[in-house]
Structure 1
Amino acid sequence: MCKSDSLKDIPQSASMDQFLNDFLVGKNFQQLATNFVPHYTTLISKVGGILSQENLGRIQATLKEAKLKDVADIIEESLVAAENAPLDVAVIGESGTGKSSFINALRGLSYEEEGSASVGVVETTKKRTPYQHPKYPNVTFWDLPGTGTPNFQPHEYLERVEFATYDFFIIISSSRFSLNDASLVKSIKEIGKKFYFVRTKVDNDLYNEEKRKPTSYKRERVLQKIRDNCLANLSHIGVPEPCIFLVSNFDLDDFDFPTLEETLLKEFPVHKCYTFALLLPNLSEASIEMKRALLKEKIWLEALKSSALSFIPFMAFFNCFDFPQQEKCLKHYQSHFGLDEKSLKGTAEKLNMSLEDIKSFTKSLNVQFLVQDDNIGEKAMKCAECYCSVNGGLPSTIFQFFKIYFLHLKFINTVADDAKILLNKTLESLSLRR
């Protein structure tokens, strides 16, 4: 199994604070342009930032010319590109290894739900079949036919499945990996793509072993034996130092799936990591922190874009962030962190709780609590904001940045903290069941 460094949240640094201060107090734009890139790099997560090197250069150039509208346009272009980057994941394995179940698990669907990948005891995948993620339609999982079935022989496999079109490959087996798998790995390496070995149905192996040897059964010893067998098998067929992940398609919280998740986040191509990080289930605190870091970068850029536009008189009125928008925004973050209604129902079933029980120890499910602004100070600030928005300039810029950034930050931090609470309760429940 591959080890992955802990993925930690990246706090906003003093350097970034200084850039923000320079921007808000109106330092000369030549200096802002010079400092933008080093300051931005202090904000991004370990997997890289939303802004490409090309767009960083474009922002520097437009800052030098004090073209704030162009700065806002470039940031908006980058945000749209990050959220809509296509992602194609190939899942390969012999018939009956659990490819379809694995895809359904990643998409958060049971095999009985509409749109799920077909699951059966006989070969169900006759051709490469795409399955979109229900929350992220630009992400597609490809269920590929087994390489050793009568329908797909190795000599014609690569051409028929359009091998070079995928971003990375997950090679699945429920027992032993084959020479066909080793051949595929060689071809994947030749085109410079990443691949990962996943050993499925580990829960079945543990169950069977416990039934056969109830007195001598040791869970960790059985898991290590499975891992060692996989490593020896892959080494024997010519795959040196493979990454092996033991998983159960019916309980992603258990075994190696959290480690697989962290490894993929660490190694995934930078320009597509944003979407991929958000679609993965919350199986570790590291993955939750990665989502938090990426979303904090996103809201910083959105706030910078909004504040740049608000320099123009009346422009802030066109970027109004009223209660309906705030509620929609909060629901969006809840979906990313698995606190949407459908996900919460599944969590409630796992924990044997009601939705009301879950709401009793979470804060982000109450939008009124997060955006309450009934005090006199808040109302006075709204009047001042309205006045500044009419006139534009520096005061309007300051108001807009802090209004957008800190409210969004409050949303993200509250939702992420709730996600951690639910994760820990789920892990505690799982531990008690073992």
Structure 2
Amino acid sequence: MAMEDFKAAIYEGRVTDAASNVIGKPLQYFSEVPLNIAVVGEPGSGKSSFVNAMLGLRAGDPGAAETGIQTTTVDVKAFPHPHLLNVIFWDLPGKGAASFGEDVFAKINLNRFDFFIIVGAQRFRTIHADLVNEIQGMSKKFYFVRSNTDLDLEASKRQRPSDYNEERILLRIKDDCHEGLRREGATNPQVFLVSSYETKRFDFPLLWERLKNDLLGLRRKAFLLNLPSISLPVLNNKKTAMKKQILIRAFWLWIFAAIPIPGLSYFPARKVHSWCYHNFGLGDLSLRDLAQLVGKTAATLKAVMKPLSFISVFLWGFAELVRAVVIIGDYTYFQHFPLYGYLLSGGISLLSTYVMLNKFVSNATDNTQRVLTEALMCEAKKSI
């Protein structure tokens, strides 16, 4: 029901009501929202084994991810969690993994996922930094998991048995991860040292508890970030409906074509432009209320809006100039009332005005989507 109210408010130009309808919901409201968790990292870092560990499965079990010594994941594969409702782990190819000479990871649209777990088997590397920057660029969250911790400890013990100190080694590994993440601008980075084969050791239990505690916040964030895509077809329907009204308004503006002064129709056209923006909920008062709701300023929301393109304005102005020249030229050449000039300039004005008003509607539609995306993104950042 709340989703229908959201769509209705968007269609009616009540963007603040639409946003408040979902922002004010308690966390429990989002308990069944699907959550898509992408497991990413370099090739061979143990992503598939980690996915199996999170699912409570071993390699070879029905429904388990395929694992092996060599890189085995070359496609995006979904693994619904058997106990967490609507939580899907996605096993992604390693960043830099090649298939038929192509980087298969580069073709994946990461924005389709709601949350990320970066798995690294070595020291913090450039690949990890690139992933962190890409994820943060989408305003999404992640955990950093250092896999194969048991193997790291065994290697350290073999190399320097007399100086072996498990606690100190684990702290050094975690500090390296924290340092790398902070260099990339990650605030309060969540780092977990795990072994996918010994899930009761190290940070695996802590990781599991943290995920369960963050789950509702992550679901809420995913829901809010997906709302703009839900609003898009609603806005497009509204645009179609409004364009049917535009022809009538274009006829009203047509009467100004009778006066051969370039740009005279600018002022009534400007009123139509304001009508479009208010109809979509982009008036100053509406933007102020929306900004207050999400804890931002109206200027922040206005900053994402884009004006009409220069080419559109130029062509409209050029058409206005042409129609004036047609009338004046008709009168000067024939020395009588410029009947034909009025008819021709009227046709030019009607066509150019109709095209321009349609661009007003399209521009308002696009800006509503941008404002809504910015407002919901601001709110989504508060989720966890």
Shorter chain as normaliser: what TM range? 0.3 to 0.5
TM-score (norm 1): 0.41
TM-score (norm 2): 0.46
